[in-house]
Chain A
């Protein structure tokens, strides 16, 4: 087949010594950057652009280096989610939900290696999807007008209830809080600043990276400070890493989850503007709806680790589809890659596959290679990463605080963002005291703007007729899934809860 011969040419390009070294270097640096809270894939790629230019690399080696960083950062994001309950980047947020409880139960090594495998599966299938489906997927993305996007986001929020908390009302409150925070900034539909109080730093809205690091990392530090005197927790907790590789039965149990999540994540990645966060989010909540019969999600279920990791890595591959084929970035990181391509005088777009086949196929081959390198790199290094957990909190927490401040200042270079981060930290501390889940707050902040804009675009296009929202088969389908996903748990929930109680009685108190 033509595809395989092109791919073969791609491997010939990618398998030179220089390109292999670049791929290994990129994977390694990417993993580190992904693991540091605040330094996500887009920053990781941006930081290394000057390196690519200084080395005088051509288009293909540059892209190999930078996409290795991209994939590496997607892998790395999970590490601090699992070990510290602080997501290394936005898409890794969902991994906290089950990864951290697993670490607390002494299964950190298992969670890390399992999520490494899940990342590999997601990225591997996404890369195949990129090869075979890129032209068709572009057509699929074109089915999504503003109304369909709005339905997709509504679906995401409808399935949110109970994702991260047992109390639906608190979940809903948190989501609303997040949506409210998303309103801050200049409204792109009218150009009017909202809730900015004349402060130019707020014109672009609240940066969700700032929000994430504040809510998760800083509030963790505050909680630690609060408990410092009664230091039983800090001193006495014996941390067990557990086995470093997942057992075969766990892998087998997670396989269907990984496959489903890869598919969902890939689709979410292909849609411009949806991106990896939505991919991991939808994968997790769908998986919870589908297989969480015993209510173990959120309490350290391995499938809850596998789903978002497969989902977000698949989305990372998927996001390359619209970037290469349409010149429209599917995520923040692909926007950076797009800029690099442009400054190398390569115009991504419908003709890229014809005009620069060496770049495209070399890149795709490099993705495969990077994927294997990352798997090989991540499994043996699990032991190294888990040592982080051995560091006592009195040393770890100041480091977390320092990394948060340096990371956020590094992103924007503005001290204003540091103040915003501290405000979010205090807010996170209060919300934790009230037992309000933090994830919906972030999701609201992250997705709220896009959701609102698409609603308003749809309604403006239809001259104020809200009927447009359910005008196409696709949007009707999305709404149906959303409504079923929202209503069903209310009825089924009772049964599940009863079962959970029964289980709790027999097993005693397992949850912390």
Chain B
């Protein structure tokens, strides 16, 4: 919420620590003087995490000299921040903004009035959070096809809970799976929107709903404790490490993949030097062992895309979401 007046607050409180003057120039090329990351949501969410974690790691590794200032600019599901960057801060070099599949979803569905993806420059991804579909540990359902069969037979008997609004990414993931399984009228799938994945999992444990759709990072704690059972990971192949036991949707004959990627964009007027500088910094960070450990701890799967490659990936993802949304009647 309150990061943009941090300097004032810090000065008032007499704690000149966060504003440590930049150390002597230590790297060649682009070095942001006042690096700033906009998290387009209140503290606590995924975007906030993206900004903070990347900011902290960039500084730890000496890729930026001064502390990354994280600004929480909530509103309109990221739309306020997007409009701010496009309209007011279009030529800043020190600014990056956290983004994810949710950003692409809203851009695809025209939920940022008057904005489109080519009004900003897409920098790089830092990993992906693959979607999961899970049931409570004591549920009779063991596999994804079993769940989808139940939905096919009687859509009203299964409530699926997720952390995003109707038409949001959590909702679309379960629709992608239903669509891939051959459920004709995907609109009949009963989706219940909660305020965040944590609340949705809690309601799964409480028995109010029968299934959960969300990101693997949201489910991890409950999988470890044995409270919920992941019946499908929406990844192209099994994930490494702790998650290797979890079956993919694909190996159960449901060709559904849904990744919530996380990454950054910058203002359209950013100089090429700055653009390349940021791309290179994030790429260096991504390649580091420290980042691999952070990814492993948080259930982030590899998604290593930078610069033009990332831009093309986002464009493709926007188009794919537009197609599904049109099919289910969210957009015309």
Contacts and interface: CB of A to CB of B under 8 A. Distances in A.
A349 B221 contact: yes
A506 interface: no
Contacts of B52: 49, 339, 343
Interface stretch (A70-78, A325-333, A360-368): A325-333
A204 B44 contact: no
Interface in B139-164: 156, 159
B194 A457 contact: yes
A466 to B, nearest CB: 15
Contacts of B10: 51
Contacts of A413: 4-5, 71, 73
A353 to B, nearest CB: 11
A162 B167 CA distance: 41
B17 interface: yes
A47 interface: yes
A190 B166 contact: yes
Nearest to A349: B221
Given A54-B20, A200-B83, A203-B76, A329 B206 contact: no
Given A46-B1, A51-B17, A200 B198 contact: no
A457 B208 CA distance: 10
B15 interface: yes
Interface string A40-54: 001101110111011
Nearest to B225: A350
Contact of A351 (B72, B225, B294): B225
Interface string B29-51: 00000000000001111001100
A188 interface: yes
Interface in B174-224: 190, 192-196, 198-199, 201-203, 205-209, 220-222, 224
B157 to A, nearest CB: 9
A345 B293 CA distance: 10
A409 B5 CA distance: 9
Interface in B39-85: 42-45, 48-49, 52-53, 56, 67, 69-77, 79-80, 83-84
B38 to A, nearest CB: 9
A146 interface: yes
B298 interface: yes
Nearest to A457: B192
Contact of B195 (A188, A336, A338, A409): A188
A43 B3 CA distance: 8
Interface size class of A (residues with CB under 8 A): 35 or more
Interface stretch (A95-103, A136-144, A223-231, A252-260): A136-144
B287 interface: no
Interface in A41-87: 42-43, 45-47, 49-51, 53-55
A437 B193 CA distance: 33
Given A145-B207, A200-B79, A349 B195 contact: no
A167 interface: no
User: Chain B interface mostly helix, strand, loop or mixed?
Assistant: mixed
A143 B205 CA distance: 10
A342 interface: yes
Contact of B4 (A201, A342, A347, A410): A410
A85 B38 CA distance: 35
B70 A50 contact: yes
A410 B193 contact: no
Contacts of A144: 206
B264 to A, nearest CB: 16
B85 to A, nearest CB: 12
A461 interface: yes
Given A145-B206, A329-B198, A29 B13 contact: yes
Contact of A350 (B74, B195, B221): B221
Contacts of B315: none
A198 interface: yes
B18 interface: yes
19 contacts: A42-B1, A46-B1, A54-B17, A142-B206, A146-B192, A186-B76, A189-B165, A203-B77, A203-B80, A326-B202, A332-B44, A335-B42, A339-B43, A343-B49, A350-B225, A351-B221, A410-B5, A412-B1, A412-B74
Interface of A: 29, 39, 42-43, 45-47, 49-51, 53-55, 141-146, 186-191, 198, 200-201, 203-204, 272-273, 322, 326-329, 332, 335-336, 338-339, 342-343, 345, 347-352, 406, 409-414, 450, 453, 457, 460-461, 463
Interface of B: 1-6, 8-10, 13, 15, 17-18, 20, 42-45, 48-49, 52-53, 56, 67, 69-77, 79-80, 83-84, 111-113, 156, 159, 165-168, 190, 192-196, 198-199, 201-203, 205-209, 220-222, 224-225, 227, 294, 297-298, 330
Given A42-B43, A335-B43, 16 more contacts: A45-B43, A49-B70, A54-B18, A186-B77, A189-B166, A190-B165, A328-B196, A329-B198, A335-B44, A335-B45, A339-B49, A348-B221, A410-B4, A413-B71, A414-B80, A457-B193
